[in-house]
Amino acid sequence: MQILLLAAFLLFGSFLASASEAPLLTDAQVAERIRLPAGFEIQVFARGLFGPRFMTVGPDKQIYVSMPRMGWVGRLRDDDGDGKVERIDRVVENLDRPHGLAFWQGKLYVAGTEKIWRVDRFRERETAGQVTTIVPNLPNGGQGHWTRTILFGRDGKLYVSVGSSCNVCKEKDPRRAGIVRYNPDGTGEEIFATGLRNSVGIAWHPTTHELWGTDNGRDWLGDDNPPDKINIIRQGKNYGWPNCIANRVPDPDFGSPEICQKTEPPAATIPAHSAPLGLTFYTGKQFPQEYHGDIFVALHGSWNRSKKTGYKVVRVRLADGQPKQVEDFATGWLRDEKGKEVVWGRPVDLVVGPDGSLYLSDDYAGLIYRISYKGK
């Protein structure tokens, strides 16, 4: 019990981390610290945010970001197109831990820990925003897995990622540790996939239209076990948790070879405790052709490993629709300062902006970055 309480405290504590706990860096200092492939550059798009998490691009071509710690969703206004936010509009407020964001038929949908809302009217000056609760009863927070991520499919369904209530256990609520889908009005609840311990990031492949997702492996099996995963999530399939870890390896507490052989293997793996969160396919035109269609994944970083890992963005090269190689793309949020590991930022989510740049949120430094290609 003490271990479980410690884990929950540490995980929730990382959620509370804010811009005030990270060093205040100039744009030049950020650019100097972050390492990117030749021809790419990074700049601060928005700063002074308090725990920015997931993002989406609206029909107005503006980037929207969730602020769970503050209970609101912001629209990042770069009206002059100079790559810097001039204004942040709070389009909806007073929500309980808003996290996942998605637009459907011009309406913004927001996922909190226990509810999903449709925003019928944005907040404007003195006029409060208007929201309708469409899903009132999602499973509650659980052991650190409080986030809910959403997106709409080509079928018009709303897909929701719900994490487990524990590190490893038998769940009583079948919606836990999986993907649930609904009609846009919140009716028609259906379990889409299971065995996903905490699939915080989900995204559609731009050509195959398959659902891909990150998944965070269980804790307390050592520094290097089990690896985190990237999965192709298919309807009716089981991805292993709590019975299996890694590539169909039986879990020491709940597993058996017979069960694991019936589960889906990961499409790719990432070093244990890297904490992969958001992922996106590169669908813009700005980056070189070799990047088109590849996946970028934000690694939030470890909290319980003797030597820290993660704290970076990786690129997953694809060939014929399958992962070919996982490689570093943006690094430098974890620094060695006089032999001490120092963290000054934690990547969370990525979106491709209308300009083709890659936008990245950081809930520890309180920043949103813009990564663009300027040529070698």
Q: Spell out the per-residue pLDDT of the chain, length 376, in tens.
A: 334 434 443 444 444 444 445 778 999 999 999 999 999 999 999 999 999 999 999 999 999 999 999 999 999 999 998 999 999 999 999 999 999 999 999 999 999 999 999 999 998 876 777 999 999 999 997 777 999 999 999 999 999 999 999 999 999 999 999 999 999 999 999 999 999 999 999 999 999 999 999 999 999 899 999 999 999 999 999 999 999 999 999 999 999 999 999 999 999 999 999 999 999 999 999 999 999 999 999 999 999 899 999 999 999 999 999 999 999 999 999 999 999 999 999 999 999 999 999 999 999 999 999 999 999 7
Amino acid at position 8, single letter: A
Q: What angle do CA 73, 358, 99 make, to 5 degrees?
A: 25
Instruction: Say if CB 161 and CB 148 are below 8 A apart.
Output: yes
What are the C-alpha distances in Å from 209 to residues 51, 304, 326? Answer: 31, 35, 21
Q: What is the dihedral of CA 205, 198, 363, 60, to 10 degrees?
A: 40
Beta bridge partners of residue 228, listed in sequence order: 270
Q: What's residue 126's pLDDT?
A: 65
What are the C-alpha distances in Å from 222 to residues 10, 37, 180, 272, 308? Answer: 17, 32, 31, 9, 13
Q: Where are the alpha helices (DSSP H) in the chain?
A: 2-16, 27-33, 257-260
| Distance between CA atoms of residues 306 and 274, nearest Å | 13
Q: What's residue 141's pLDDT?
A: 72
Amino acid at position 207, single letter: T
| Distance between CA atoms of residues 189 and 68, nearest Å | 25
SS3 91: strand
Q: What's residue 103's pLDDT?
A: 98
Phi, psi of 3, deg, nearest 5? -65, -45
Beta bridge partners of residue 115, listed in sequence order: none
Amino acid at position 197, single letter: R
| Distance between CA atoms of residues 17 and 261, nearest Å | 40
| Distance between CA atoms of residues 113 and 266, nearest Å | 26
| Distance between CA atoms of residues 133 and 110, nearest Å | 10
Q: What's residue 5's pLDDT?
A: 36
Place of tokens 């050509």: 207
SS3 14: helix
pTM of the model: 0.94
Q: Residues with Cβ < 8 Å from 56, sequence gap 6 or more?
A: 63, 64, 101, 102, 103, 351
CATH number among 3.30.460.10, 2.120.10.30, 3.30.465.10, 3.40.630.30, domain 2-373: 2.120.10.30
Quickly count: other Cβ atoms within 10 Å of residue 106's Cβ: 8
Instruction: Say if CB 229 and CB 214 are below 8 A apart.
Output: yes
Written as one string, the DSSP assignment of 313-352 is EEEEEEETTEEEEEEEEEB-SEEEETTEEEE---EEEEEE
Amino acid at position 73, single letter: V
Q: For residues 329-366, b (16+ Cβ closer than 10 Å) or e, as one string? A: bbbbbbeeeeeeeebbbbbbbbbbbeeebbbbbbbbbb
| Nearest alpha carbon to residue 269 among 215, 211, 348 | 215
